[in-house]
Structure 1
Amino acid sequence: MSVDTAMIEPAQKELAALCGQTATLAGDAARWIADEANADAVGREKDAIVREMKLAALRARRIEKAAVRPMCVGVFGPSQAGKSYLVEVLARPETGPLRAAFDGSEPLDFISQINPIGDKESTGLVTRFSALPVGPSPAGFPVRLRWLTELDVIKVLGNTFFLDGDQSKETVPSPEFIAQTIANLSTRAGQAGGGLTDEDVLDLQDYFQRQFGSSRYVDALGRYWEQARALAPNLDLQGKSELFALLWGGHAQFTRLYLDLATAIDQLGRPDEVFCPLGALVPREGSILDVATLAGLGGQGKDDLEVRSPSGSRVLPRALVAALTAELRISLVDEPRSFFATTDLLDFPGARSRQKVHLAHFLSERPDALKETFLRGKVAYLFDRYVAEQELTSMLLCVRPSIQEVATLPDMIDAWISSTHGATPEARAAQANLLFLVLTWFDSHFIDKAGDVGQEGGLRFRNRLEASLLGYFGKAHTWPRQWTPGKAFQNCYWFRNPNFPAETIIRYDGRVEIETIAEKRGRIAELRSGFMELPEAATHFRDPGRAFDEALKLNDGGISYIIENLAKVCRLDMKLDQLRLRLGDLRREMAAKLDRYYVSLDVEQRLVERRAAAGKAFDDLEPVIQAGGFGALLRALAIDPGQLNDIIYGVLRGVGGDKPRAAASMSFRISRPDQVGAGARTGPVSGADREQLYARAAVEAWIGHLRDLASNDTAPRRLGITREALKTLSDEILTLLRRSDLEAALAEDLKALTTVELAEQSSAKIALVAALRLNRLIGDLGFGQLPPPKRPKAPAEGGEHPIFDERPITYDASAIGTPPKPFAQMYISDWFHGFYQVVEDNAVSTSGLRVDLKQNERLGAILNTLRAA
């Protein structure tokens, strides 16, 4: 989207400059990590950390772009939630119709001339309503569109494959198939490629692992990503279609669609913005705004449309233009409401339920299958894209009164909240609440059914809040009940559409609401009283009485009350505050990742900081333990032998592997350490080159697994732990891994398996041995290899005992007491004390390395700059 630089405020420029500095620092950090002079200090974590720094640079650049764009309020919700009227009344002037301006043409009435006909969910793109100035469009091409990129197309098709396809019916690609695909494409790589960069594929990997990280299919891709980063920039479109077909299950219809869309993008010079004649929108039948136009995908459509970009123009199938359009800009003719002076309104297509179909059958048997699958994936991805780009500052979330069918919506909203307000109540406390929950169809609660006789007046409203908020969004996420520490989400609004007659309670003169029906006023008062008596009313509405009354306001339905409160937050400083907090989070995350390689001269200060981090992690682990989830957490930290087998097999075949992942009530008090003695670690063991290669692959895979686990949004949610605590655990375990030189010990273990066997046989054995050695480090933190006197002590009955002490062997019932021994409690206490010792050892250790003062100073300068802002 083009930005008028004259409209950029000094505060925006200042923040954008800080973002640019952050991206530069991320690049400097990546180069420091990759520098051979720091190889000993960084160890096998090099590739994982370089990748994280490159992703940090991408995030900083996104925030930089967001900083100079206007604030946006988005209207979103499930399909058919009643948001269309809300959008219309927000975008139109207080009197008169909503009119759209197009260069060289008379204004058009958006509702009667542009908006698709019908009550169904009719659009598959975002509509931006803006009163802000924008540059002129080319003569004869007044319709301004923001397009999908080639990277977006790949993500849309992947989103469709994973969320609309039944994964149990899909074949997970084997290591042999992936290796053969990469080998074939490597012979065709050359200078004819272009369009995608190494960073683009890194962004693609991050999207797939964040969104579909629990999928066995994504795990199986292994080192495909590393190979794809090297290949993609040097492949033509046909080569890229074969390379990325792995991301949508190899379905031929999706591959052909990718080729059609990517070819059109290439032909127009890979533009961000394109222009079309007015015929793209009018007449409404066949408009690119109408999802029915997508029926022409795959070659059935005959209608063409000329499209112009800065690189020239092309005549393309209308269905292709509709598919590639991410956003339509509507410039408002008449002076709208005051908040449009700084804010754009984004109308998102309604979220749709995902189908979970057998894609191969569905695509071959249904004539409209390509349209339906692409549309669902595109609608879901557009929301993901605007969230990732920090484009959506505030949201009006519309929810209707019924069973909620869009199972993916709660996760989508939680992702937006985490991205804009913060992932925890503490983080959200730092800024204003910009999420408005609009409970639509308010008038439906005044229809009394036969079963309502004798019920409490507030019961229907309690049921509504349960269905639309607490039971829907609050089932898997905490924000409805814990928006900030000790305070629930409190920004709910009732809303009804006056265009739909509420004849049970309101009298009309034509379409104009005259008064509430006299005979119904007593019942309305009764229901209002019942609502006011609900504890949930005061908990989730700032002013419950006014919210109720405003929704019954004649010819209004509550919109004035919503606008009144929305106008208070439609300020540029709100957007900039939001972005500053996210940039601050990013800089702190970068510093935390790099700090482990900086050798501080102040060891005591380092100890204080790491002990504090460990204590915070223990606090966050307490509810996990009480819920019986500690075992699941350890399992998630461990690496699965089956996944490791794919990596080792690739090494045996000479193609490499990558970073697999793990899959996803007791009540007692766990002893937590304060001061514990130090313990030694296993020394280095040399191994032959072949065993060293296998050991290195296994260690790198585990490092990647832990790194991905700590950065994956789904893992903390699944395990019930904060992302910060998971990161602390991963960081300390990785430092322990580096100090203990586990790779050499593993190579020594593998010597026993270096017999001449088939790769399939050897890989399974090597993977099992490697997983056993690596996962043992999770289980006993390396202390199981030490004699008991050298281990830290933990409280026990009658005193202390060495952690992870073996249970005594008895041959009769004499050791069995009346109460069972709390073995789980004892193990977790031992693990806590062991982890605390690991934290202290990590803090004071330099891994036996000679510190390169020049390189250490170079890293220190990066860290100091990151922490300065």
Structure 2
Amino acid sequence: MNDIVETRNQDLIQNVTNQITFINNFIKWSDGYLQQGRKEETFKKLVNVRRQLKRLLFSLESNPAIAAFGESQKGKSYVISSLLARKGQQLVFVDPKTNETYNFVEQFNPIGRDVEATGVATRFTCKYDVPDVDFPVMVKILHVSDMLNILCDSAYNDVKNHSIINKEDIDEFMQAQERRYQNAPVVQDILGEDDIMNIYEYVKNHIGEVKARDLLSSCFFDSAMRIIPKVQPAEWPQLLSKLWYDNSDITALFARLLQGYETIGFGKKVYIPVSALLNTTNTLMSAICLQTLDAEMPLVGNTNPVYGTDLLTEKNQVINGFSKSILSAICAEVVFQIPEETISEELLYHLNGITGDDVRQYLLSKGWNKKVSKQFLKSVDIFDFPGARERLRLDESQVKLELNKKMVLRGKVSYLFNKYSDERLINVLMLCHDHIHVGTTVMPDLVEQWLKFNVGATKRERTAYIDKSIISPLFMIATKFNIDMSSSVQEGGDTQISKRWDDRYKVVYYDQVLEANSRSWFNEWTERGGFKNTYLLRDYKYSGTVGGSANRLFEGYDQGGVETVEIDADFHQRLKQSFISNIHVNTFFDDPELAWDAAATMNNDGATRIIENLGIVAGNAKESRLYRCQQEVRSLQAQVIQLMMEYYHDENDENIMQKAIERAGSIIAEFDVVCGKDNYFFGRMIQNLQISENYVFDFYYNELNNTKATSERDVKEYDLILSRCHGRLSANNSYEQNLEILCQEYHFSSTGSCKEFFENVKGVSLEKLFACNFKQKSNSEQLAEGILEKWILDIKGSKNLKFYEAQGCNTLVILDLIENLKAVADYIELKSVIARKISPFVDAISVPHQILDMIADTTAEIINTFVVTLGYRYYSGQKKEELKMVNEKNNLHLSFDYEDTQCIPMSNEELSELFDDIRPTDENSQLTSLPSFINYNRWIEMLLISFVASYNIPTYNVEANKLLGKLLADYKELN
């Protein structure tokens, strides 16, 4: 089975790799053949798909991972030790050069003392090669885009009162940068378009549109995507500082961190000696490391081991005394190898502390006579995440002081979990928490977010996933259970004993850590019921009798590593009965008695049961992940195919017609959904498509006073010359033949003197004359053509499309609508309609201001009426009959009763009433008879008619269409 899954995994990796190649080819095609507006929107959508495919590719190429996660000081380290240390021993690391053994918890782990201790994630893996025994520990480095996200996250989520750069200022700055880099060459591939879009997604999802409204609504990300490959790393701080509202302290820190990245060659990993991890010399994993980021110390050459460490880069370059604070800041993971003896260890349940034959038989039926293997550690990695904490609430004036002390740490800890969750790098989550909760928590949102991306957003999706994994990939680990077993509350009787379960499972877990009452996933975990995958874990050390913190549960472990005597068996039995009968305990545990016996009896601390079930879910982790990834890959491929189909034109007439109907249907569906959410959207959308009298006036005034345009119109000599030659001049003639004809008609003695007169003396272009395609345009024709071109260009410009993006509209659908408006305008010759109306007033020597006002008003009225009626009034009788036949053949249900009733655009109030009216109630069963509903439906029907009317107007490049057709056909074959 594992071989089959691995083969399927490799097949999907190849499929995703091929898709990325096809997307790059599609981007090249769009660059060559699409108009600017569509090119930009298509590029954004393709980059969005490509970056998601790259994430999936990275996930598929990585080992599945089990992560321990929770708030600081809640027992995560003990959970990790229970998994990776041999029973009765400590988790150790062996230096491959000296064979010296290091106690991971006591010598590497930062000492917390109830504060944030760790600033990096720790990975344990068996897939590990040591390139140099002097540098046996791998450090994975955050990408520069990750660091940008961290600083942006902290700037918005840890600082509550800060300055704001408004959207207009951001737009002005970024537009200036676009002009600066417009013709610059590509200079780097470290930070690219996909990275900028990843940052955009992170800001939108994890900072939010309320906090970062101006940043998200500006052109910052669109502009940055277009120019970032052309920008040198040294210029990134200035360009990208808008991510933290131009705070100079954060910008300076980013510039310093960039120096660190450049020093290690922007590598993905480095290797360090064991000495860099010793907590006696400020371990690299310590949060304290980050607090010296602003210290006046060199980037390299630090000889004090507290502040610097030697390292080996990916290119085998040794750097001496590299700043520990910089390395800690840009470090994503410290990676350790899981010892082979840990993987080969087999665990046993212990029955010597179990009383009662019936209980023993029950436990044997549950597999307590079998060995529990750790072989699953060969195929999965183990993560230990830094402890999650509530975000800070700083004023911007405190940034300088707190940036290195707490802000970077909080931003980094938050980002690490968000990143690994979003990128599907955590396949099994062990949520660790003890019996105490203090203050506001961030855990509910983080857990729900992980579930949504990695297991399923609905109980149906979660059911399908768990059918593959067998056991839930979310493990709730109730740590420090030895405290719950202590006799400290014995005097309170059974009521007080029961209260400890109420407090832990109802107050702390249900209400606070998970907020299960307000989140549906806990009680609607799968189609089979609520979440019950909870485990108990106690600490052998604190279960003993030595030390002031000992809970005095069992004797023997302190002396020989084996529990030999249960100190108060009768009290423990009372605890057990209270535990298994408690209603809140039963909410979290499928089998409370089994959970108790696995963790609260002699020589059973709960770890064996956790490891047994982790082995099951880990054994299916790759297949479960593969299942989710296959779904996502298919969905992303469908998006690209749909995008290709938007531009591909089938040469079969029936297919072209059907595609026109489908395009209209996509727009109608988009409007119905968006208008249902926002009652005012449709009115604003119509206004957004229309123009004002002032808009037209300014354009006409500038055109009529533009000397260049005037000179281009003043070419009557061309008409007279063509007329004088009696039609003998022709584009089919050679240049010499036409010159001879011209010479004859004007009786020049030679063709040379003829050419000299017209070209050099009079400035007439003979090339243009001989093309014979010149037709003088009147003022009215020039103005009508110009205003329509400007109108179409403006309504499909990126600035205007921001309006639709803010409403959640698919901008490609909007561009499709606008292009159809242009196609219909061309079909009905709207340019001629406008020209005829204004011709009597502008086809003269000069046009006074009063006339300009009038023709501007007339032009605006024509265009605005066209927006509302979509050109229907200009269709010929024959065209309308053809449309009725199409309607009947395709069952479009169009009424064609638009002749007598003028369709007037609805006001915002009418639109609001419309969508209030169409919400289903007992009173609105006759809603289709409402005037506002009829008006809206008429516009929608005329939209569909306009697509059908213009479907056979050829508007595409035939050669480009053939290339796209080949690309589409090949892309569809990927499976």
| TM-score, normalised via structure 2 length | 0.65
Counterpart in the other structure of 1:217: 212
The SS at the match of 1:108 is strand
Give the 3 Å change call, closer, same or farther, for CA 528–490 of structure 1 in structure 2.
closer
Q: Does 1:310 align with 2:314?
A: yes
Letter of the aligned partner of 2:225 in structure 1? R
| Aligned CA-pair RMSD | 5.3
Q: Secondary structure at the match of 2:337?
A: strand
State whether structure 2 residue 376 is matched by structure 1 residue 339. yes
Distance 1:389 1:611, change over 3 A: same
Cα distance change, pair 537–740 in 1 and its aligned pair in 2 (3 A): farther
- Higher deviation after alignment, 339-348 or 730-739: 730-739
Q: Is the 8 A contact 1:403 1:467 kept in 2?
A: yes
Q: 1:464 to 1:784 in 2, by over 3 A?
A: farther
- The change in CA–CA distance for 1:126 and 1:805 in structure 2 (over 3 A counts) is closer
Q: Please say if 1:363 is aligned against 2:399.
A: yes
Deviation at 1:157, TM superposition (A): 0.6
Q: Does the CA-based 8 Å contact 2:386-2:413 persist in structure 1?
A: yes
Q: Relative to 1, partners in 2 of residues 1:25 and 1:191: Cα closer, same or farther, differing over 3 Å? A: closer
Change (3 A) 1:62 1:232: same
Q: Give 1:483's aligned residue.
A: 525
What does residue range 49-128 of structure 1 map to in structure 2 within 5 Å?
49-106=42-99, 107-120=101-114, 121-128=116-123
* Residue deviations 1:626-676 (CA, integer Å, cap 9, x gap): xxx95458769978999x9xxxx9xx9xxxxxxxxxxxxxxxxxxxxxxxx
Aligned partners of 1:481 and 1:489 also within 8 Å: yes
1:705 aligns with 805
The offset of 1:348, in angstroms, is 0.8
Distance 1:499 1:837, change over 3 A: farther
Q: 1:304 is aligned with what amino acid? A: G
1:792–1:834 CA contact under 8 A, matched in 2? no
More helix by share: 2
Q: Is 1:329 equivalent to 2:335 in the alignment?
A: yes
Q: Is residue 129–residue 345 contact of structure 1 (8 Å, CA) maintained in 2? A: yes
User: Within 2, Cα distance between the matches of 1:129 and 1:73?
Assistant: 10
Query: What letter is aligned with 2:433?
Result: V
| Distance (whole Å) between structure 2 residues aligned to residue 316 and residue 347 of structure 1 | 25
Q: How does 1:374-413 map to 2 (within 5 A)?
A: 374-403=408-437, 405=439, 407-413=441-447
Q: Indicate the SS of the match to 2:381.
A: strand
> 2:489, 2:497 within 8 Å by CA — same for their partners in 1?
no
1:556 to 1:226, Cα distance in 2 relative to 1, 3 A? same
CA distance in 2, matches of 1:384, 1:157: 14
Helix, strand or coil at the partner of 1:390: coil
Query: Which residue matches 2:11?
Result: 14
CA distance in 2, matches of 1:264, 1:275: 15
Residues 1:235 and 2:236 aligned together: no
SS in 2 for 1:429: helix
Name the CA shift for 1:118/1:591 in 2 (closer, same or farther; >3 Å). same
Equivalent residue of 1:527, what SS? helix
For 1:172, which of 165, 188, 192 is the aligned residue?
165
Helix, strand or coil for the counterpart of 2:449? helix
* Alignment partners' CA distance in 2, 1:845 and 1:516: 89
Task: Decide whether aligned partners of structure 1 residues 186 and 483 sit closer, same or farther in structure 2, where only a CA change above 3 A counts.
Answer: same
Is the 8 Å Cα contact of residues 397 and 435 (structure 1) preserved in structure 2?
A: yes
Q: Distance in 2 between matches of 1:694 and 1:546?
A: 69
User: Which whole-Å CA distance do the structure 1 matches of 2:873 and 2:386 have between them?
Assistant: 58
Residue matched to 2:131: 137
- TM-score, normalised via structure 1 length: 0.72
Identify if the C-alpha distance between structure 1 residues 462 and 484 changes in structure 2 by more than 3 Å, giving closer, same or farther: farther
Aligned-partner SS, 2:318: strand
Structure 1 residue 89, shift from structure 2 partner = 0.8
8 A Cα contact 2:66 2:428, kept in partner: yes
Match of 1:468 among 506, 509, 512: 509
The superposition leaves residues 562-585 of structure 1 with CA deviations (integer Å, 9 ceiling, x where unpaired) of: 111110021343443343233233
Task: Find the residue that maps to 1:289 and give its secondary structure.
Answer: coil
Q: How does 1:484-503 map to 2 (within 5 A)?
A: 484-485=526-527, 487-501=529-543
CA separation of 1:98/1:820 partners in 2, compared to 1, >3 Å: closer, same or farther? closer
Query: 78-87 or 421-430: which moved more?
Result: 421-430
The structural deviation recorded for 1:145 is: 0.7
How many angstroms apart in 2 are the aligned matches of 1:57 and 1:128? 28
For 1:423-438, list aligned pairs within 5 A.
Answer: 423-432=457-466, 433-438=472-477
Deviation at 1:454, TM superposition (A): 5.2
The alignment status of 1:518 with 2:573, answered yes or no, reads: no
Q: Which residue of 1 aligns with 2:599?
A: 551
SS in 2 for 1:564: helix
Q: 1:459 and 1:614 mapped to 2: Cα distance?
A: 58
Conserved? CA contact 1:117–1:284, under 8 Å: no
The 1:616/1:55 distance shift into structure 2, 3 A limit, reads closer
CA contact (8 A) 2:154 2:407 kept: yes
Unaligned 5+ runs, structure 2 = 344-373, 467-471, 545-549, 699-783, 835-859, 875-886, 896-902, 911-920
Q: How does 1:308-707 map to 2 (within 5 A)?
A: 308-311=312-315, 312-314=317-319, 315-333=321-339, 334-336=341-343, 337-359=374-396, 361-364=397-400, 366=401, 368-403=402-437, 405=439, 407-432=441-466, 433-442=472-481, 448=489, 457=498, 460-461=501-502, 464-465=505-506, 467-469=508-510, 472-474=514-516, 477-485=519-527, 487-501=529-543, 506-509=553-556, 511=558, 514-515=565-566, 517-521=568-572, 523-531=574-582, 533=583, 537=586, 540-571=588-619, 572-598=622-648, 631=677, 687=787, 691-697=791-797, 700-702=800-802, 705=805
SS of 2:280's equivalent? Answer: coil
User: Taking structure 1 as reference, are residues 220 and 392 closer, same or farther at Cα in structure 2, changes over 3 Å only?
Assistant: closer
The CA deviation at 1:332 is: 2.6
Q: Residue type of the partner of 1:284?
A: T
Equivalent residue number for residue 160 of structure 1: 154
Amino acid at match of 1:527: S
Distance change in 2, residues 1:191/1:617 (3 Å): closer
Do the aligned partners of 1:587 and 1:867 also contact (CA within 8 Å) in 2? Answer: no
Shift of 1:53: 0.8
Query: Deviations 1:810-855 (Å, cap 9, x if unpaired)?
Result: xxxxxxxxx9966998899889988997998799787564376765
Measured after TM superposition, the shift of residue 378 of structure 1 is 1.0
Distance 1:162 1:187 in 2: 29
Change (3 A) 1:453 1:845: farther
Q: What aligned pairs does 1:171-190 form with structure 2 within 5 A after superposition?
A: 171-176=164-169, 178-180=171-173, 183=176
Structure number with bigger Rg: 2
Residue 766 of structure 1 corresponds to none
**Distance across 1 between alignment mates of 2:870 and 2:571:** 74
Aligned-pair identity (%): 20
1:273 to 269, 273, 278: 269
Distance 1:261 1:286, change over 3 A: same
Distance (Å, rounded) in 1 between the aligned partners of 2:939 and 2:590: 45
C-alpha spacing 1:640/1:699, structure 2 compared with 1 (3 Å): farther
Residue 296 of structure 1 aligns with an amino acid whose one-letter code is: T
| Conservation of the 8 A alpha-carbon contact between 2:174 and 2:224 | no
Shift, 1:379, TM fit: 1.0
For 2:158, give the aligned amino acid.
D
Is the partner of 1:14 in helix, strand or coil? helix
Which whole-Å CA distance do the structure 2 matches of 1:288 and 1:473 have between them? Answer: 35
C-alpha deviations, 1:499-543, integer Å up to 9, x for none? Answer: 434977834446465326234245324423433x56x836x5443
Is the partner of 1:122 in helix, strand or coil? coil
User: Structure 1, unaligned stretches of length 5 or more?
Assistant: 1-5, 653-683, 711-726, 750-768, 795-801, 809-818
Instruction: Return the letter of the residue paired with 2:199.
Output: L
Query: Offset of 1:403 from its aligned partner?
Result: 4.5
